[in-house]
A = this chain, B = another copy of it.
Amino acid sequence: MDLMLCPPRFTLVLGRDGELQDSKKINQSRIQRKKRALILNAAESVFARRGFSGSRLKDVAEEAGLPKANILYYYKSKEDLYRCVCQDILENWLGAIGEISVGSEPNEALRKYIEAKMELSMQRPNASRVFAMEIISGAPVIGDYLATELKSWVDKHVLIFQGWQNRGQLVDVSPYHVFFVIWAVTQTYADFETQIKLLLGDQHLGLDEYKRAVKSATQIILCGLIPR
């Protein structure tokens, strides 16, 4: 449900057994890493549909094409697997989007940010859905991350927005809500893809419709934010 825009400065470790997870990650053979990645990918798909408590390890195993016991060989528990999925998503997002710099011009900076978020929604929709489920459920796992790292990132950028507003480059709205609006719109194309497909009558959201979505979202939000 939102991203850090800066490159990762350190390795994120969500949850209680970070040391164990880290050591497991470091001492991995190539095969182990491949299998863990295979399971992680299958788990992301299952968690995206059912959330944490609704997902079954059996379904993860079937999605990965492995016996159920193997899942628990590579991840010590269902919760461990879920934390690793969340961590993997965060690290991917951390690396995928650039920083919004103080000196940059708001129209270009925000356009780039919106386009990057849309690209993430389209390329890895299940990641967005896992996050949506997690937050709707009350953010039991990533709550700490939201309250600390994401909050400090947002607070920093709120100051940038206020600078733009003082110079008349951004309309006078609550800067926090600027983020809420951008996140809501860009992520809806991943999270509510089912609804969007049904209403557009498309089986697959093709490249054309994707471009139309980016164009519409960018136009509406930017026109609403940049004074003329």
Chain A residues proximal to chain B, CB less than 8 Å: 1-2, 48-55, 129, 132-133, 135-139, 143, 146-147, 150-151, 154, 171, 173-174, 176-181, 183-185, 187-189, 191-192, 194-196, 198-201, 212-213, 215-217, 219-225, 228
Question: Are B146 and A198 touching (Cβ within 8 A)?
Answer: yes
Given contacts A154-B199, A216-B173, contact A194 B135 (CB under 8 A): yes
Q: List 12 A-B contacts (CB under 8 A).
A: A50-B53, A52-B54, A136-B192, A139-B194, A139-B198, A146-B198, A177-B220, A180-B185, A180-B188, A180-B189, A220-B225, A223-B224
Question: Are B194 and A138 touching (Cβ within 8 A)?
Answer: yes
> Within the complex, what minimum Cβ distance (angstroms) separates A111 from chain B?
13
Q: Which residue of B lies closest to A177 (CB)?
A: B216
Given contacts A54-B54, A136-B48, contact A188 B184 (CB under 8 A): yes
- In the complex, A134 Cα to B185 Cα: how many Å? 19
Contacts of A220 in B (CB 8 A): 171, 173, 177-178, 181, 221, 224-225
Contacts of A54 in B (CB 8 A): 50-55
Q: Which residue of B lies closest to A126 (CB)?
A: B136
> Within the complex, what minimum Cβ distance (angstroms) separates A160 from chain B?
16
Contacts of A53 in B (CB 8 A): 50, 54
Question: Are A181 and B173 touching (Cβ within 8 A)?
Answer: no
Question: Are B199 and A176 touching (Cβ within 8 A)?
Answer: yes
Question: Are A135 and B192 touching (Cβ within 8 A)?
Answer: yes
Contact of A216 among B52, B146, B174, B187 (CB under 8 A): B174
Question: Are A1 and B50 touching (Cβ within 8 A)?
Answer: no
Question: Are A191 and B50 touching (Cβ within 8 A)?
Answer: no
Most chain B beta-carbon neighbours within 10 Å: one of A50, A139, A187? A50
Most chain B beta-carbon neighbours within 10 Å: one of A138, A154, A223? A223
> Within the complex, what minimum Cβ distance (angstroms) separates A116 from chain B?
17
Question: Are A180 and B198 touching (Cβ within 8 A)?
Answer: no
- In the complex, A12 Cα to B129 Cα: how many Å? 28
Question: Are A212 and B174 touching (Cβ within 8 A)?
Answer: yes
> Within the complex, what minimum Cβ distance (angstroms) separates A55 from chain B?
8
Question: Are B194 and A183 touching (Cβ within 8 A)?
Answer: no
